[in-house]
Amino acid sequence: MKNIALILSYDGTNYHGWQTQKNGATIQQTLTEAINQILKCDTYVSGVGRTDAGVHARKYVANFKADCTIPLQRLPLAINAILPEDITVLNAVEVNNDFDARFNCTKKEYAYYIYSSKINDPFLSKRAYRTTYPLDVNKMNEGAQFFVGTHDFASVRSVGTPVKSTVRTIFHCQAEYVENHNFVIENAKLIRIRVCGDGFLYNMVRAISGTLMHVGSGKLKPEQIKEVLLSCDRASAGPTLPAHGLYMNRLWYNDTDELKSYKLDV
């Protein structure tokens, strides 16, 4: 029996997140059913993390154990033939028997996309959050630096899954303009907020993004981010932005893992 890791990408618009549940289609369930159909097995697919309903992934890692006689370089093509077009397996690689996509991941980066326009861009309506007022990306980036380090992030999380601690470490946090060729709205600028950490609380990146949006609009000064964190008060931070602007963007694995040779960054 092989332990096989898959690298995939997906548009989460039509799914109730990664984890299998009773009330709707999920990425995990859809991928598992495709694998079981191809390999004639009944396996469990473990993912690097839970993404919520509507959240996307540029790079995502999952693994499963099964007897697989299909050459691994052909396995993605076989699975993709079953999957819907909004989920794509990019690569497949055999990993050590004790490898787990979730527990072997050392760092994760999420990206959140925002654009300012009074008119909706139909090509971004499910892939970026629109605000109708201008944002100062330089001030947003200045404020983002206060999130870097080990802090109690209770003020930028939603109540959800119980956790033992709300302390996490953020390795980098940046706000920047990026080019986007999908725009049909003139003069609209796409802002990307990238947050990399050792782990995240429920809705943490979406709340960080909403707080930085308040900085960009002038509702908060960049240096006030420090006060927001120290308060541990959710009401002191910005809103939790909608799921459709969020992407799992980049993943890091240990040097000893077979996945190290694969490009997991975007």
Span 10-14, average pLDDT: 96
Q: Is the pTM of this model over 0.85?
A: yes
Catalytic annotation, pick one of 52, 86, 100, 136: 52
Q: Residue 256: its pLDDT value, please?
A: 59
User: Is 265 annotated as catalytic?
Assistant: no
Q: Residue 266: its pLDDT value, please?
A: 42
Residues of the chain with pLDDT > 90: what percent?
86
Q: Residue 180: its pLDDT value, please?
A: 81
Distance CA 191, CA 136 (A): 10
Q: Residue 187: its pLDDT value, please?
A: 77
pLDDT in tens, 232-245: 999 999 999 999 99
Distance CA 128, CA 241 (A): 10
Residues of the chain with pLDDT > 70: what percent?
96
pLDDT in tens, 130-157: 999 999 999 999 999 999 999 999 999 9
Q: Residue 260: its pLDDT value, please?
A: 66
